Amino acid sequence: MCSSDLAADTFARHGDVVGISINYRLGPLGFLSGAGDANVWLTDQVAALQWVAANAAALGGDPGRITLAGQSGGAFSIAALAQHPDAQGLFQRAILQSPPLGLDLPTAEDAAERTRSLARQLGRTDLQALHQEPWERLIEGTIGVLGEYAKPGEWSLAFLPVIDEATLPRHPIDALTDTGIDLMIGWTSDEASFAFGMNPQYAATTREQVIAWTSTRHGDRTEGLYETCAQARADSRPLDVLTQIVTDDLFRRAGVHVAEARAVARPVHAYQFEVSSRLLGGALGATHCLEMPFTFANISRWGSAPFVQGLSPEVVERVTGVLHNAWIGFVRDGDPNREGAPPWRPYTPDDRAVLVVGDDDIQMVTDKVRFG
Q: Known catalytic residues?
A: 72, 191, 288
**Amino acid in position 181:** I
Q: Which residues of 23-57 are buried (b: 16+ CB within 10 A; e: fewer)?
A: ebbebbbbbbbbbeebbbbbbbbbeebeebbeebe
How many whole angstroms separate alpha carbon 149 and alpha carbon 252? 24
| Number of C-beta neighbours around residue 207 at 10 A | 15
**Amino acid in position 291:** E
Which residues lie across from 304 on neighbouring strands?
none
How many whole angstroms separate alpha carbon 338 and alpha carbon 131? 49
How many whole angstroms separate alpha carbon 230 and alpha carbon 25? 40
Which of 357, 356, 355, 321 has its CA nearest to residue 340?
Answer: 321
Which of 292, 43, 287, 3 has its CA nearest to residue 161?
Answer: 43
Please, are residues 47 and 35 in contact by the beta-carbon 8 Å criterion? no
How many whole angstroms separate alpha carbon 137 and alpha carbon 130? 10
